[in-house]
Amino acid sequence: MKDGIVKAISSDGTIRSAIASTTYLTQQARYKHNLSYTATAALGRALTGVALVNSMAAKQGQMIMKFDGNGPLGKVVVEASPKGTVRGYVENPQIELPLNSLGNFDVGAAVGDKGYLHIMTDHGFGQPSTSCVELCNGEIGEDINKYLVASEQAGSIVILGTHLSARGAEAAGGLIIQLLPDHTEETICKLENNICTFGTLTFLMRRGMSLEDILKRILDGFDVTFLTDIQPLSFSCPCTNERFIQALKVLPKKELLSMAQEDGQAEGRCHFCNTVYHVAKDSLIELAGGQF
């Protein structure tokens, strides 16, 4: 199953939803950042979550989520663009914790249950919109759900999952279901019953079920209309060596010459994709005005 996202709505106008497959981009993030299993599970969930939330926004923009908890993983920062690209990182990528009591990766303990989820959306005009909610339990999905309920004053369900093996990410994805104003008690009862028999999202993905079939399964009893074809998702970062050079240009001439003399080069690392860039000594001298 290729990475992608698809949106749907019920014909009676009571719910809307989005579901995503993010297996390959999660594996790419694991490789780029050399993540532990626990860190991979956390970052995979967060990347999926930000992609889903941004896709359902009334006006999509560049959305950043920062999970700033009291756990050993440190900050988890993810970003999604309207073009279907995502990127992100964790502050301490090598942190590994024992499995929790359910036999799952203990993302909640790694992120922490005290702290905040910060969300910023930049639409490319005006001031970016910002929101902040206290973390629920650090499990990512529940924290995002708390934000959705607080910001949109509507009930929602957020399910995020990452299945890992020794080979890496075998299945990753998520879904969001939101109640619309016309929902009834019957709507809620149907959803609750479906969730009880739904199973595990990543298990269904590993069985080869399509995103549409998985969504129909959790929305059994509703007449589902898909609003889009599957829209591609990918882990992609716009950083380049040229952007690094542009950032160096704002440094004082004295600092550029000091780097050239003492280090013989300038080195920079992108937090989001872990790519390292170098600028040679001669280029630093040129940026400083051509005099050593």
Answer yes or no: do 255 and 224 share one domain.
Answer: no
**Looking at the structure, do residues 256 and 166 belong to the same domain, yes or no?**
no
Ranges assigned E (strand) in 2-123: 4-10, 15-21, 62-69, 76-80, 85-90, 115-122
Number of domains in the chain: 2
> Are 198 and 123 found together in one domain?
yes
| pLDDT tens by residue, 221-238 | 999 999 988 999 999 999
- Specify whether 250 is located in the same domain as 196: no
Q: Do 226 and 245 fall into the same domain?
A: no
The answer to whether 141 touches 174, Cβ cutoff 8 Å, is yes
Lookup: tokens for 177: 């279901």
Quick one: pLDDT band at residue 291, thresholds 50, 70, 90?
low
- Show the CA angle centred on residue 147, arms to residues 106 and 2, nearest 5°: 65
β-pair type (129-134, 276-280) = unpaired
Average pLDDT in the chain: 93
pTM of the model: 0.93
Tell me how far apart the alpha carbons of residues 30 and 93 are, in angstroms, rounded to a whole number.
9
22 and 87 assigned to the same domain: yes
Q: What is the pLDDT of residues 110-156, one digit of tens each?
A: 999 999 999 999 987 878 899 999 999 999 999 999 999 998 887 89
Over 80: is that where the pLDDT of 290 sits? no
Separation CA 113–CA 122 (nearest Å): 27
Any idea what the CATH number is for the domain that residue 173 is in? 3.55.30.10
255 and 174 co-located in one domain: no
Question: Do 117 and 248 reside in the same domain of the chain?
Answer: no
Within-domain flag for 99: yes
Same domain, 181 and 271: no
Q: Please, which contacts does 181-184 make with residues 24 or more away whose CB atoms are closer than 8 Å? A: 181/154, 182/12, 182/13, 182/14, 183/14, 183/15, 183/155, 184/14
Q: DSSP per residue over 133-190, as a string?
A: EE-SSS-SHHHHHHHHHHHH-S-EEEEEEEEEETTEEEEEEEEEEEE-TT--HHHHHH
Q: What is the pLDDT of residue 64?
A: 97
Beta bridge partner(s), residue 163? 171
Residue 292 forms part of a structural domain: no
Least confident of 158-162, 168-172, 247-251: 247-251
In degrees, rounded to 5, the angle at the alpha carbon of residue 207 between the alpha carbons of residues 206 and 208 is: 90
- Please tell me whether residues 251 and 128 are part of one structural domain: no
Q: How far apart are CA 54 and CA 35, in angstroms?
A: 25
> Are both 137 and 281 inside the same structural domain?
no
Confidence band for 255, pLDDT divided at 50, 70 and 90 = confident
**226/253 same-domain check:** no
Lowest-confidence segment of 44-48, 191-195, 216-220, 287-291 by average pLDDT: 287-291
On the 0-12 / 13-18 / 19+ scale of CB atoms within 10 A, 196 is exposed
Q: Could you report the per-residue pLDDT of 147-168, keeping only the tens digit for each?
A: 999 988 878 999 999 999 998 9
Token digits of residue 191: 């959803």
Q: Which domain holds residue 247?
A: 241-287
pLDDT at 33 over 90: yes
Look up the CATH number of the domain holding residue 263. 3.90.1280.10
CB 29 within 8 A of CB 35: yes
Angle at 63 between CA 59 and CA 66, to 5 degrees: 145
